[in-house]
Every structure is written in C-alpha cells, then in structure tokens.
Amino acid sequence: MTRKKKEYPWTDKPAGKIASAILKVQKMTSDLMSNKLNKLSAQRLKLVLLVFCLCWSGLSIYFIAFDKKRTTRVEKIRTIHQPNEQNEYRIDSETIDKIHKYKQYMDSIREPIRPSLLDSMNTLELIYLQQQK
C-alpha cells in the first residue's frame, strides 16, 4: 500500500513572498554597488578589491588562529555505565502488555513499525523472557 504525499498549498504563498523579497533586496544591493563601482576607474577598482580582500582575509586569520574564546572545545567522552547483571533491567508485565497492544494496534491499522523501534521492543521482550527463567 502506497501513501499519498500530503500537499499543503498554503505554504507556497508565504515562501514565494519571502523569496521575492529576498530577490528584491539582492537586486537593489546589486544595482547600488554597480552604480557606485561603475564610476570608479580601473586603478581605483583594483585598489578597492585589494583593500576588501586584505580586510576579510585578515579577519579570517584572526578568527581561525587567535580568537581562543570562539574556538570549539572538544569534550571528553564520558564512559557509559553498562550493567554486569541483567537484574538491573527489570521489565514488568505491564510494559510487555503495552508492547503487545502497540504491535496489535499497528498491525490493525496496517502501518509498519519503525525497524529501530521494533528492535528495541524485541530486546525488551527477550529481557522479560530471560527474567522469567
């Protein structure tokens, strides 16, 4: 059984408005820069480009090399406690009943259970059966 993809037509209008607003701002910025830079001579344009590159590369070097506050810190991995005995995990019959009811419900509506969830439920059932021995 295939699922139909849900479509929400009302989400297209706000997205379109946002996209058109962004494009308008980009066009205005582009026109402004184009008007300002067209008035400059080739030599002045090269000088502006050189100053721009020097400023931004200097800032990049500063942030990469010298700004210690902003560098990411590597945290130590904490050990995970793993029980030596299975008695630490006590699964009661109520939990197993809930698992069985959930499986029956998902089967009745003909929906698959996510594989990772199904694995977890099977593991809980296995632990419960081992406790019963």
- Note the pLDDT tens digit of each residue in 31-81: 998 888 888 898 998 998 999 999 999 999 888 887 666 555 556 666 666
d(CA 96, CA 6): 34
The CA–CA distances, whole Å, from 102 to 22, 113, 131 equal 47, 9, 22
Residue 86: partners with Cβ closer than 8 Å, 6 or more residues away: 127, 130, 131
Write down the pLDDT at residue 37.
84
Give the start-to-end residue ranges of the domains of the chain: 12-66, 86-132
Nearest CA-CA partner of 55 in 45, 63, 44: 63
Q: Residue 81, CB half-sphere, CA atoms under 13 Å: how many?
A: 5
Mean pLDDT, to the nearest integer, of 10-17? 76
Phi, psi (degrees; rounded to nearest 5) at 71: -70, 145
